Amino acid sequence: MGGSALVYNLYRLTWTALDWIFPPVCGGCGKPGSRWCHECQKNVPVIDGNVCDSCGTPQSAEGLCEACYRERPPYRALRSWLVFDDPIRSALHHLKYRRDVGLGDSLSAQMTDFIRGLGWPIEVVVPIPLSQARRRERGYNQVALIAHPLSLALGLGYAPQALVRWKNTHSQVGLTREQRRENVRGVFRADPARIRGKIVLLMDDVATTGSTLVAGAEALLEGGASQVYALTVARALARHGLRHV
């Protein structure tokens, strides 16, 4: 067994042992017995069919969407695993606001095959960081709780300090696309020593307009990353009733 596989198995065994000591409830439906129950795993609203080659927005045909045709984002590609709807919506809110930190491990385990199927030549995983104020308030970065076990499962490097949010921003909730983009413009700085020459997987929990990922990708490329791919657990889609997060 390889070293990374051993570390990942030990990581998962630790959470299994904790579940025996502190019986969990499902983050998706609240049913006791598991952090992410089999019923919710089967009922996640997967994004399938044609998506934009660049931003990953679902569309009727292959190729670039109109927005990416006009202005190509800095990342090589963005993909989202699920539509931001229940049960994943409830699960991500549980992870983000109710300190259900073990849920990150369960979600990452179900995401692993999806990411392998993308065939991206990524080398290191970087989570979108919180501001220092938000990190002190919450006590953890919910994206990191998914990104870290995902990096272990895939045998990739993990660099949570590679990207820093060096100034506070207003909440993105309720902002228009242009307001979101302006709100996060220049908000990130990258550490070249951690990502120079590397192919980076930049990860967030939910994509709405993609503005945060664009800003993060720009900072990583300016810091010397050779390429940036972007990934989110879920995506808010208008055809499902756009839900702001």
Q: What is the mean pLDDT of residues 17-40?
A: 90
Which tokens hold the place of 42?
């089967």
Query: Cis (ω within 30 of 0) for the bond into 87?
Result: yes
For the cut 70, the answer to whether the pLDDT of residue 118 exceeds it is yes
CB 80 within 8 A of CB 89: no
For 78-98, write each residue's pLDDT tens digit. Answer: 999 999 999 999 999 999 988
Could you read off the pLDDT of 62-75 as tens digits, one per residue?
999 999 999 999 99
Average pLDDT of the chain is 88
Query: What is the model's pLDDT at position 185?
Result: 67
What is the C-alpha to C-alpha distance for residues 223 and 10, in angstroms, rounded to an integer? 33
| CA–CA gap between residue 29 and residue 31 (Å, rounded) | 6
Q: Identify whether the C-beta of residue 104 lies closer than 8 Å to the C-beta of residue 149.
A: yes
Dihedral (C-alpha) 104, 232, 165, 67: value to the nearest 10 degrees?
-170
Residue 1 — very low, low, confident or very high, per pLDDT cuts 50/70/90? very low
Q: What is the pTM of this model?
A: 0.87
Q: What is the pLDDT of residue 179?
A: 58
More confident residue, 186 or 113: 113
Give 43-69 pLDDT, tens digit per residue: 999 998 999 999 999 999 999 999 999
Break the chain into its structural domains and give their ranges.
Answer: 3-240
**139 to 98, 100, 122, 132, 171: CA distances (angstroms):** 11, 12, 29, 10, 18
Work out the percent of the chain whose per-residue pLDDT is above 70.
87
Strand order, beta sheet including 227-235:
77-83, 227-235, 199-207, 124-127, 157-158
3-240: what fold?
Rossmann fold (3.40.50)
